[in-house]
Structures are given as C-alpha cells and as structure tokens.
Amino acid sequence: LRHALEVRNPTFATEQFYDLARKYGAAIVYAVDDEEPTWPQIDEATADFSYARLMSSREDEPTGMTAAELEAVADQAKAWAKRGEVFAYFISGAKVRNPAAAQALIAKLK
C-alpha cells in the first residue's frame, strides 16, 4: 500500500513536512494548476515513487500543452524516474485534451 499527500497550502513547503512524509514513505503530490497559483509545487523525494497531477492543459492546444511545455514535463518525469516509479496524471484543465496530452507525453518518454 502506498500513500501520496496532496497539500494545497504553501505552509506545507517546509523541511518538517518533508521529513514527516519521508519518515512514512509517503510521496508528496506534485500538483500544477494554472488556476490555483498559490498551491505549492513541492518536488521532494519522500517515497520510492513520484506522483504528479498536471492540471494545466488548455483546450486551444491539440495536445493540451505546447510541445515545449510537454518537453519540460517529460524532462521532469525522467528526473523523477531516477528516484523510482512515476505516476503522472493529466487531470482537470481542459478535460477533452487530457488524453491527447498523456499520449504526447508517452511519445516523448519513449
């Protein structure tokens, strides 16, 4: 059983919280949401896996994100993969574009 903690307040961006998550092997969800810029984007290795919720797809982009944005996500996912498994989800944002975004990311990771 694995656990991932999604926090939505910048007060969680502290070493004390990272240490607590690390102590229990819980991943801290890396959440990106263009509509919620106050959410902390925490990229800390606290578990043997990484979990990302990517909520910034746009309907005006056929693949949800530009090629450059997808390339940045792919680079980040590759870095996470060096730490363990990666679970990355395109969710929210422009829901109709999320499947295309996921497929485009998979193609960049091959």
**CATH code for the domain defined by 4-109:** 3.20.20.410
Environment class of 32 (CB within 10 Å of its CB; exposed 0-12, middle 13-18, buried 19+): middle
Rounded to whole angstroms, how far apart are CA atoms 38 and 26? 22
Angle ∠(83,85,87) on CA atoms, nearest 5? 120
Res 94 pLDDT > 90: no
pLDDT in tens, 1-47: 999 999 999 999 999 999 999 999 999 999 988 777 778 899 999 99
- Global confidence as pTM: 0.90
Average pLDDT value for residue range 58-62: 94
Predicted local confidence at residue 92, as pLDDT:
75
Domain spans, the chain:
4-109
Map tokens 């690390």 to a residue: 22
Environment class of 100 (CB within 10 Å of its CB; exposed 0-12, middle 13-18, buried 19+): middle
Average pLDDT over the chain, rounded to whole? 94
